[in-house]
Amino acid sequence: MAKFKSSAIDCSVVEAVQTQAFDVVVIGGGPAGMAAALAAHKAGARVAIVEREQHLGGILRQCIHPGFGLSHFKQELTGPEYAQRFIDQVRATDIALFLDSMVIGINSGEGAPGKGESTLHTVTLMSPDGMLQLTARAVVLAMGCRERTRSEIKIPGSRPAGVFTAGLAQRYINIENLKPGSRAVILGSGDIGLIMARRCALEGISVEGVYELMPYANGLRRNVKNCLDDFGIPLHLSTTVTRVIGHDRVEAVEVSQVDDHLAPIPGTERIVPCDTLLLSVGLIPENELSVAAGVELDPRTRGAVVDQSLQTGVPGIFACGNVLHVHDLADNVTRESERAGAAAAAYALGGGADAEAGAPGAGCQLTVSPAGIAGYALPGRITAAALTKLNFRVRRPADAARVRILAGDEELFAGKVRPFKPSVMESFPLPAKVIQRALDLGVNEIVLSVDPVEEA
């Protein structure tokens, strides 16, 4: 009879694992992770970055198109150029780098007994040198996001070669120097899909069209113009792929128009010959590690629920970038991640929980909820009566709408009437006096509502 060993970890093996101590450990070496690490280092913390790839830079290494850095560096850069500026800054510091290393768990333990120290987090990782454990007062989650696949949107049909996510096709062309096909159909008008339509055209791949389920484009307007209009690539709205056709390789796809409920309309089917189908159908924050560490996720963003310092519900664990919510611009990722890194350093160096308990407004506990056409609101918790930047996206376009801040039955603030688009991540400053007013009313929730306005 075959004998099977227990999957439990041998305690003697655990005791032999090498351990290194830091103030802040950042998980992810992309633009978010590097920005957070640099900010924490600038604040005086001992910092480590753990990155599963062999190089820093994250997804930007394959984003060779321009459009990065206009806000942060005041000049237009390609993705690799933008990333390299941060890589050079990281290399110029004593930030510890653990590359080609996969984090397999985050565990939290108590600080030194009797000293009032905060929770000590242990990040366990597998590196080329074997298993390592990094301890830190603060951990910054910056793992980014992944693409939704065909299985997640359930496209019927056969399962031939030639179906790629847009990001995978981008890597094939820009890094691996491989051509994914000769005649492509792109499903989804997110920014990566639009950019890949242009990239395919530049590589001599015929793009039959971009098909979008919604009645509007999901990418930035500038990408629709620069990537589709300038190259004569048609955009078909309220249309989706309803079947993949082919045996060994994609031979065609069936596309159908959809109704107001996004259901395919019988009789509108048509066959589009192609050998490649690229999917640009959304991004999902990589939060498996977060959930295992006990971090609560927001079902709307699929990212962590955080407060205004970007701290999750687990003391000392912070989140930023696309692992928190999907951004449209890398410059916004950098700005947010710098805040997370600085907050993580302040937590680690200030004694953690004890420092937080003595902070002004520590008795403030408000949740933030979206309403109207707002799809989500971030941060989800407010723990101090101080100026707070709220980020949100709308679920559908509106030519005229306004932001309203509500507490109970009272309207605390109303913004100007202006247009909103789902492709643009919006920000809204919430003054300290508005938060204080909500506290004075005795409510425990602030509502961010984006309400369409009927024009006269």
Contact 426, 416 (CB under 8 A): no
Confidence of residue 178 (pLDDT cuts 50, 70, 90): very high
Q: Would residue 314 count as lying in a domain?
A: yes
Contact 427, 391 (CB under 8 A): yes
301's enclosing H/E stretch is none
Residue 35 is part of a domain; what is its CATH number?
A: 3.50.50.60
Cα–Cα distances in Å, from 277 out to 187, 234, 249? 7, 15, 11
**Sequence letter at residue 403:** V
Q: Would residue 187 count as lying in a domain?
A: yes
Q: Would residue 323 count as lying in a domain?
A: yes
Closest CA relative to residue 43, chosen from 318, 357, 429: 318
Identify the residue whose tokens are 């295992």.
292
pLDDT confidence of residue 346: 97
Closest CA relative to residue 50, chosen from 66, 34, 35: 34
Structure tokens at 138: 């603060």
pLDDT tens per residue, range 32-56: 999 999 999 999 999 999 999 999 9
Q: Are residues 41 and 140 in the same domain?
A: yes
Q: Tell me the mean pLDDT in the region 16-35.
A: 95
pLDDT tens per residue, range 69-110: 999 999 999 999 999 999 999 999 999 999 999 999 999 876
Contacts 24+ apart (CB under 8 A), 222-231: 222/67, 223/191, 223/194, 223/195, 224/189, 224/194, 226/198, 227/194, 227/195, 227/197, 227/198, 228/194, 228/197, 228/198, 230/198, 231/197, 231/198, 231/201, 231/207
Torsion of CA 194, 195, 198, 202, to 10 degrees: -160
Cα separation, 305 vs 318, in Å, equals: 10
Q: Are residues 338 and 438 in the same domain?
A: no
Contact 43, 345 (CB under 8 A): yes
Domain final residue pick, 350, 382, 399: 350
Helices (H), 56-190: 79-91, 150-153, 166-174
- How much of the chain exceeds pLDDT 90, in percent? 85
pLDDT confidence of residue 31: 97
Q: Are residues 159 and 257 in the same domain?
A: yes
Domain final residue pick, 248, 279, 310: 279
- How much of the chain exceeds pLDDT 70, in percent? 91
Q: Would residue 10 count as lying in a domain?
A: no
* Domains held by the chain: number: 3
Confidence of residue 454 (pLDDT cuts 50, 70, 90): confident
pLDDT confidence of residue 265: 97
Q: Tell me the mean pLDDT in the region 50-63.
A: 96
Strands (E), 29-98: 47-50, 66-68, 77-78, 96-98
Strands (E), 73-157: 77-78, 96-98, 102-109, 120-127, 130-136, 138-141, 145-147
Q: Are residues 23 and 110 in the same domain?
A: yes
Does pLDDT of 14 surpass 60?
no
Answer with the residue of higher pLDDT: 203 or 352: 203
Q: Are residues 142 and 193 in the same domain?
A: no
Please, is 80 exposed, middle or buried when counting C-beta atoms within 10 Å of its C-beta (0-12, 13-18, 19+)? middle
222's enclosing H/E stretch is helix 221-223
Q: Would residue 345 count as lying in a domain?
A: yes
- Quick one: angle between helices 191-202 and 166-174, nearest 10? 40
Question: In sequence order, what are the beta bridge partners of 420?
Answer: 398
Q: Are residues 321 and 203 in the same domain?
A: no
CA dihedral over 357, 362, 365, 368, signed as positive or negative: negative
Q: In this structure, what DSSP letter does residue 161 have? A: B
305's enclosing H/E stretch is none
Indicate the average pLDDT of the chain.
91
pLDDT confidence of residue 332: 95
Q: Would residue 208 count as lying in a domain?
A: yes
pLDDT tens per residue, range 276-301: 999 999 999 999 999 999 999 999 99
Q: Are residues 289 and 233 in the same domain?
A: no
Torsion region of 225: left, alpha or beta (phi above 0 gives left; psi -120 to 50 gives alpha)? alpha
Confidence of residue 353 (pLDDT cuts 50, 70, 90): very low
pLDDT tens per residue, range 124-158: 999 999 999 999 999 999 999 999 999 888 899 89
| Range from 267-276, 353-362, 383-392, 433-442 carrying the lowest mean pLDDT | 353-362
Q: Are residues 138 and 185 in the same domain?
A: no
Does pLDDT of 360 surpass 50?
no
Q: Are residues 38 and 136 in the same domain?
A: yes
Confidence of residue 358 (pLDDT cuts 50, 70, 90): very low
Does pLDDT of 215 surpass 70?
yes
Cα separation, 284 vs 135, in Å, equals: 28
Q: Are residues 217 and 237 in the same domain?
A: yes
Question: How many C-beta neighbours within 10 Å does residue 23 have?
Answer: 21
pLDDT confidence of residue 3: 42
Q: Would residue 356 count as lying in a domain?
A: no
Q: Are residues 71 and 122 in the same domain?
A: yes
Range of the domain at 288: 18-146+283-350
Confidence of residue 351 (pLDDT cuts 50, 70, 90): low
Q: Would residue 3 count as lying in a domain?
A: no
Domain final residue pick, 350, 377, 397: 350
pLDDT confidence of residue 455: 64
350 — phi, psi (to 5°)? Answer: -95, 10
Edge-to-edge strand ranges of the sheet holding 183-187: 163-165, 276-279, 183-187, 206-211, 235-236
Structure tokens at 356: 């937080």
State CA 127 to chain mean position distance: 25
Q: Which residues of 338-372 are buried (b: 16+ CB within 10 A; e: fewer)?
A: bbbbbbbbbbbbebbbeebeeeeeeebebebebeb
Q: Are residues 108 and 73 in the same domain?
A: yes
Cα–Cα distances in Å, from 162 out to 165, 208, 212, 249, 279? 10, 15, 19, 6, 11
Closest CA relative to residue 285, chosen from 234, 240, 333, 322: 322
